[in-house]
Amino acid sequence: MTLHRYNKLNNFIYRFGNLFISFLMIINIAVFIPQLKISSIFYFPIFAAFVILYLINRFYFLLYKTLPLQIISDEEKIICKKFIFNKARIDTIYYNDIKTISGGIFEGRLNGMMKITDKNNISISFSHRISESNNLIAKILSKVDKKIYDEAMESLNKLGLKLNKKKDKN
């Protein structure tokens, strides 16, 4: 069994990051609304602040529902604990029940949130910033269905080609 968890800074960011950004966007809106009397050009920053506010809160709401702060992996399953909104929730996903893997390295990107869904529609997400993330990703890829594995490997090969092209240019 391997325990994977985030460091204190990442825990803080995943829990409270949206509050800080939302506060800044609300301040931005409050500053620009009185400026509308001067010029209508200030509609754009207000609109942009509302869009950012919506997108960041939508992203964090998804994180709050699917991001466990602690993952225990063994040879047959992943046990997810300490979700942000529901600390008592414990989800267990068996490797052979995994239906889809997406995001992050599974889609050919070096970073980003990775999402796993099983046949019971239990979804979890995790970041490459979790401790021993490479071991967790390797274990997931080694245990999933061959079709899912092949799709992920194709994305990883594309990522490798992109990185080699960048390396050759430098």
Q: What is the pLDDT of residues 84-121, one digit of tens each?
A: 888 888 999 998 889 988 888 877 777 788 899 999 98
* Digit-coded pLDDT (tens) for 27-54: 999 999 998 888 888 899 999 999 999 9
Interval 56-81 mean pLDDT: 91
H or E segment and range at residue 81: strand 77-83
Contact status, residue 34 vs residue 28, Cβ threshold 8 Å: no
CA 124 to CA 152: how far, in whole Å?
17
Contacts of 103 (CB under 8 A, 6+ apart): 109, 112, 113, 114, 115, 125
pLDDT at 86: 83
Contact status, residue 91 vs residue 68, Cβ threshold 8 Å: yes
The proportion of the chain whose per-residue pLDDT surpasses 70, expressed as a percent, equals 96
Better-predicted residue by pLDDT, 162 or 24: 24
CA 70 to CA 136: how far, in whole Å?
12
The per-residue pLDDT of the chain, averaged, comes to 87
Cα distances (angstroms) measured from residue 149 to each of 46, 97, 102, 143, 152:
45, 13, 11, 9, 5
Q: How remote is the C-alpha of 113 from its chain's centroid?
A: 2
pLDDT at 26: 94
Query: What is the dihedral sign for C-alpha 127, 132, 140, 74?
Result: negative
pLDDT at 25: 92
pLDDT at 148: 85
Q: Is the pLDDT of residue 160 over 90?
A: no
Q: Is the pLDDT of residue 23 over 90?
A: yes
Interval 59-81 mean pLDDT: 90
Q: For residue 162, give the 3-state DSSP assignment.
A: helix
Specify the pTM: 0.78
pLDDT at 170: 60
Contact status, residue 4 vs residue 79, Cβ threshold 8 Å: no
pLDDT at 157: 78
